[in-house]
Structure 1
Amino acid sequence: MGPEKALPFNEDLSSTDDYVDSLVEFVGTHELLRTLCGGVHVLDFFTTKDPDLYSRVLPQEWRDFFAQHEIMPILDLLMRDDLESIDASQDRWREGPPVPQSLLDYIRTVRKHLLVRDVKGTQCARNRALKPTQKLARQVIVGMNIKKVHEVGLFARYLSDLGEDISQSTGSEISHLVDFGSGQNYLGRALACEPYNKAIVAIESKSHNAERAKEFDVMARLTEKKKIMRNKKAFRGEAEAPSGSSELPTPPPEPASPVDSALDPTIEAAINAKGSVQYVEHRIVDGDLSEVIQCINGSDPRLMVMSLHSCGNLVHHGLRSLILNPSVKAVAMVGCCYNLLTERLGPATYKLPSLRPVREHPRLAATGDAHDPHGFPMSERLCHYNSEGIRLNITARMMAVQAPQNWGEKDSDGFFTRHFYRALLQRILLDRGLVDPPSTDCAGESPAGHSSGTPVIIGSLRKACYANFVSYIRGALAKLYDDPINGARFKERTMDITDEELLDYETAFSARKKDLSVIWSLMAFSAGVIEAAIVVDRWLWLGEQEQIAQAWVEPVFEYSMSPRNLVVVGIKK
């Protein structure tokens, strides 16, 4: 049961133990990795002076090399080029200067510690080759986009096969699949319908999500539509009333239009479905599911906890449910949103000392000082490494959800431009006295992006705001002016700024946009190791539990479709 290797590590390392030892040491001690993954923030790029951030972080020979090459070849070098074929002593590389040996060594080291994300080399892929991936019925995919159809179709098949394997190896059948944070229950609905016919327990804290999910259940022919007895005359009167007073139900959205290969017209959910979904409204705060289990229909349930892209600590709660609840026999969870994890080991070093701003960022202080027993790291191995443990601040964890291998030329240029605009806005706010510069006196422990102790959060803007720098600044300032606390202060300090002044800023800093793009690319590339550390920590924790018979990690989705594609599986003895 499970893949040949418990972790999908690089073949450059000889064993799982060797990989884990090397990964923990790399994350715990490598200065440049720690700098790129949590030590710097893109908002500091134009506010750090004498020397600038780019010069502080990267060696001179790297900067000289990057200056002579365009960003897309640099991305190829980081993530796609065959390093063995690159001779660092050659005179030229891609019609430019050769790659510095120290840069090649760093790229090679990062790649060695990334988890393999290609499903072709896993047991999951071999199973699919023997038994083609189950496709979804048209009525089951209502509300799903292409990405969700891909994820649900593959993961439903994976979970069904895993449940059968557990039943065969233990002699006892899994009775229910428990979805941690089911949302609108796309995964559970697929598993409850043909051909799986599973009994699903959908845990959801927001009642409106569960009610919407029940509407989709009707469309999937999983349940019958409830008949409502009405006085026809009174009902017609309500129907003729103005829309603001109407209580007619909102029809569910039209189905998305996924690729035809994701659909199979021969698969239809049964009118009298054999599967079932039981919704339980419950706020998950730890792994104790005793209240949920009491609500489950039937006696002596044998449960497998599952999740598709559970955020932050939800995966930790799900894994712990395997230990805290006798009825839970297995877990299979795909995580995401590592930035929402809390800190188990207390305050982290949010910045290099020379890059720390003066004022404190409240949200980061709250999570950093929490000493949350449910947070990262889970495993004793990472908690006690080098006596202080492995700590990852929010900047590092936020970078770990990037997907640089999927960056193409057009979309790369788009988000590099957006980062350039945002970093340059930070410089304008600095020059106008609205944010503080990074300090060299080590006062405060927060990253940039604050004003008077409050984070400066721009959020999303209308597409038209990204047409040019002036439009971006005008759109961003308009949002800042609406802030109920600091809006008046922002308006007072910036309302007199002219378009000509903004264009002067863009002209003055445009030559450094390429440098910003290089730093961001290096940060995103390096942060793949941070994701590996988070996932391996969860696997290590399972291995440290005496009750666990087997645990592994493997990719279950195509990375190009769904970058957070690693499932953590644990099987109880």
Structure 2
Amino acid sequence: MSYCCECDKERIKENLNKLLTACKDHEKLLRAYMLDFFVDNHWETLPKKWRDVLGTLTPEELGSWILYPELYEYKKVWPLSLLALRCAVRFHSIERQPAQEHWRDQALGFSKDCRHRNFLNCDLGRGELNRKLFSKHIKPKKFHEIEVMAKVTANCAKRLGCKFVVDIGSGLGHLGRILAFHYGLQVCCLEEQICLTEKAKKIDEQLRKLFEKSGRNIVPPVHINKSINTALDQNELIKILLDAFGLQFKEELEFGLVGLHPCGDLGPTLMRLLVDCPNAVFINVVGCCYMKLTEESSGCIQGYPMSCFVTGEIDTKNLSYEAREVSCHALEMYCDRLKKGCVDDLKIHCYRSTLECILIRHWPHLKHSGLKSIKHTQDLSFEKYAVEAVEKLAISLPAHDLLSDDVERRLLQWKNVVVFYSLRLLLAPLVESAILLDRLLFMEENGLPSMLIPAFDPQFSPRNHILLALKENK
């Protein structure tokens, strides 16, 4: 499903109820730690009929069933409860696949008359973006996100006649650079880390000189070191921006807010800033790190829930840390690995949960300890993986444990571990959809028309929804 507040308010409320109820019904699965698979015997917690079917699937079949159940060839009788769960996830979750034709041909109703709106494809009169020029120092995944985010932001700015943009958590300034150099916007980049700000300025200067040679006079972004948190004072921010843009009066300043994967509560903080600050006129924000959202607070600031509807009218509103954490995982990428049969890559959770049993047996206080991240595990035996993984714990694993019959028995169950993990990923879109729809309702409750756009390819960018809101009637 795709959503826009003004057209879908009641549908959003109804669906939020169903999403959160489904999360509550499968809370045990969502709360499960994968590293406790053997410690807590997770496999036995699944219904026997589920185990009987899922345990016989190949990784390729499992990946196909999760992503494309309508194309999967059912060769045996499946339990209706499992089929119903898959249908519910598919029906109630927000659409994740970018569908530009859908946006072009159907009303997403961004204003009261439900006129067609297209923030990805309208002609900005800027010509084609020089990808080779702007993609230096950027990985393809990140550039894919930045390019799309820049176009959506430029469309919002053009629509409102707004020429100022604030990029929060700007990093090396890649997004702000495209907005300034290609789209001609005046951009202020706020970044906490000084080292990133200094590097960003150097890249700006290199690019500015290239544009000067071609006869174009470009105003680079302004980079400022600033930490943005839930205690953000809008008056302080206004002063910073007036100075950055060389303005005297705040009446001259109307700006858009951009946040590309702000962590945890930062996304909700920016949304509240749009609501509270008269000078802020639009926002484009892509969420990230939902497990870091503050759920309960003694004050009025919390990351989830945001809307009055979820806060006051839904009893099953709580989402556990584990549920919010799994909602940040890469469903499409993982299922792609399943479908390709890359089984050696999939055994890492089995290795980790097997190692957890050894750790708890000898060092109970090390339960759920953070271990060294091991790359290329497909090339490692369990023994080599375990020794490398515990390096920073300063312990020596007993050799007889690493080669014991118990370890061998657990390692043979790697397919069950894959199935259990895959079921948790199957539920992940329910959790993310609930969080995003809660944010959408928050905007609507504050009189701001908004929409969720699945803008990025989820194969590259698992968190791929832009929440867009404008103060059109300002």
Asked whether the two chains share a fold, i.e. TM above 0.5, the reply is yes
Question: How far did residue 400 of structure 1 move?
Answer: 0.4
Q: Is the 8 A contact 2:331 2:462 kept in 1?
A: no
Q: Is the 8 A contact 2:295 2:304 kept in 1?
A: yes
Matches of 1:99 and 1:475, distance apart in 2: 41
For the pair shown, the structure with the greater C-alpha radius of gyration is: 1
SS at match of 1:332: strand
Count of residue pairs the alignment pairs up: 446
Question: How far did residue 502 of structure 1 move?
Answer: 2.9
Q: How is 1:357-376 mapped onto 2 (pairs within 5 angstroms)?
A: 373-376=301-304
Q: Is the 8 A contact 1:470 1:499 kept in 2?
A: no
Question: How far did residue 179 of structure 1 move?
Answer: 0.6
Answer 1 or 2: which has greater helix percent: 2
Larger relative contact order (CA 8 Å, sep ≥ 6): 2
Task: Report whether the alignment pairs 1:109 with 2:88.
Answer: yes
Q: For residue 276 of structure 1, what is the amino acid of its counterpart?
A: P
Q: How is 1:250-265 mapped onto 2 (pairs within 5 angstroms)?
A: none
Question: How far did residue 433 of structure 1 move?
Answer: 4.0
Paired residue for 2:312? 384
Distance 1:128 1:569, change over 3 A: closer
Q: For residue 17 of structure 2, what is the amino acid of its counterpart?
A: V
Q: Is the 8 A contact 1:184 1:213 kept in 2?
A: yes
Distance 1:268 1:392, change over 3 A: farther
Paired residue for 2:143? 149
SS at match of 1:567: strand
Deviations 1:81-121 (A, max 9, x none): 217x87xxxxxx34xx3222221111101111111122225
Matches of 2:15 and 2:202, distance apart in 1: 50
Matches of 1:270 and 1:537, distance apart in 2: 47
Q: For residue 478 of structure 1, what is the amino acid of its counterpart?
A: E
Paired residue for 1:398? 325
Q: How is 1:173-192 mapped onto 2 (pairs within 5 angstroms)?
A: 173-192=161-180
SS at match of 1:458: coil
Matches of 1:7 and 1:420, distance apart in 2: 43
Distance 1:188 1:129, change over 3 A: closer
Paired residue for 2:346? 416
Deviations 1:355-382 (A, max 9, x none): xxxxxxxxxxxxxxx7772321111111
Question: How far did residue 545 of structure 1 move?
Answer: 0.9
User: Percent identity between the aligned chains?
Assistant: 24
**Alignment match of 1:317 (pick from 269, 279, 283):** 269
Paired residue for 1:570? 469
SS at match of 1:119: coil
**Alignment match of 1:560 (pick from 442, 456, 459):** 459
Q: Is the 8 A contact 2:2 2:95 kept in 1?
A: no
Matches of 1:459 and 1:102, distance apart in 2: 39
Task: Report whether the alignment pairs 1:514 with 2:395.
Answer: no
Distance 1:559 1:501, change over 3 A: closer
Question: How far did residue 274 of structure 1 move?
Answer: 3.3
Q: Is the 8 A contact 2:293 2:303 kept in 1?
A: yes
Paired residue for 2:111? none
Q: Is the 8 A contact 2:96 2:464 kept in 1?
A: yes
Q: For residue 6 of structure 1, what is the amino acid of its counterpart?
A: C
Q: For residue 437 of structure 2, what is the amino acid of its counterpart?
A: V
Question: How far did residue 308 of structure 1 move?
Answer: 1.1
Q: How is 1:136-215 mapped onto 2 (pairs within 5 angstroms)?
A: 136-165=130-159, 167=160, 173-194=161-182, 196-215=183-202
Matches of 1:174 and 1:510, distance apart in 2: 59
Deviations 1:523-546 (A, max 9, x none): 011111101111111111111114
Matches of 1:543 and 1:474, distance apart in 2: 53
Q: Is the 8 A contact 1:134 1:153 kept in 2?
A: no
Paired residue for 1:308? 260
Indicate the larger mover: 203-212 or 18-27: 18-27
Q: Is the 8 A contact 1:470 1:503 kept in 2?
A: no
Paired residue for 2:113? none
Deviations 1:406-447 (A, max 9, x none): 232358634531111111111111222425xxxxxxxxxxxx
SS at match of 1:43: helix
Task: Report whether the alignment pairs 1:53 with 2:51.
Answer: no
Question: How far did residue 28 of structure 1 move?
Answer: 3.2
Q: For residue 325 of structure 1, what is the amino acid of its counterpart?
A: C
Matches of 2:129 and 2:217, distance apart in 1: 18
Matches of 1:178 and 1:411, distance apart in 2: 44
Paired residue for 2:222? 278
Q: For residue 532 of structure 1, what is the amino acid of its counterpart?
A: S
Matches of 1:18 and 1:114, distance apart in 2: 13
Distance 1:128 1:331, change over 3 A: closer
TM-score (norm 2): 0.86
Q: Is the 8 A contact 1:156 1:190 kept in 2?
A: yes
Q: Is the 8 A contact 1:118 1:558 kept in 2?
A: yes
Structure 2 unmatched ranges of 5 or more: 106-117
TM-score (norm 1): 0.72
Distance 1:28 1:134, change over 3 A: farther
Question: How far did residue 341 of structure 1 move?
Answer: 1.5
Paired residue for 1:17? 10
Paired residue for 2:207? 220
Indicate the larger mover: 390-399 or 130-139: 130-139
Distance 1:344 1:136, change over 3 A: farther
Deviations 1:252-272 (A, max 9, x none): xxxxxxxxxxxxxxx999665
Structure 1 unmatched ranges of 5 or more: 9-13, 87-92, 168-172, 225-266, 346-369, 436-449, 482-490
Indicate the larger mover: 74-83 or 181-190: 74-83
Task: Report whether the alignment pairs 1:35 with 2:28.
Answer: yes
Deviations 1:452-475 (A, max 9, x none): xxx510141354795110001110
Question: How far did residue 193 of structure 1 move?
Answer: 0.4
Question: How far did residue 520 of structure 1 move?
Answer: 0.3
Deviations 1:170-190 (A, max 9, x none): xxx213101111111110011
Paired residue for 1:292? 237
Q: How is 1:117-128 mapped onto 2 (pairs within 5 angstroms)?
A: 117-120=96-99, 121-123=101-103
Q: Is the 8 A contact 1:343 1:372 kept in 2?
A: no
Indicate the larger mover: 140-149 or 16-25: 16-25
Question: How far did residue 138 of structure 1 move?
Answer: 2.9
Distance 1:46 1:269, change over 3 A: farther
Indicate the larger mover: 212-221 or 267-276: 267-276
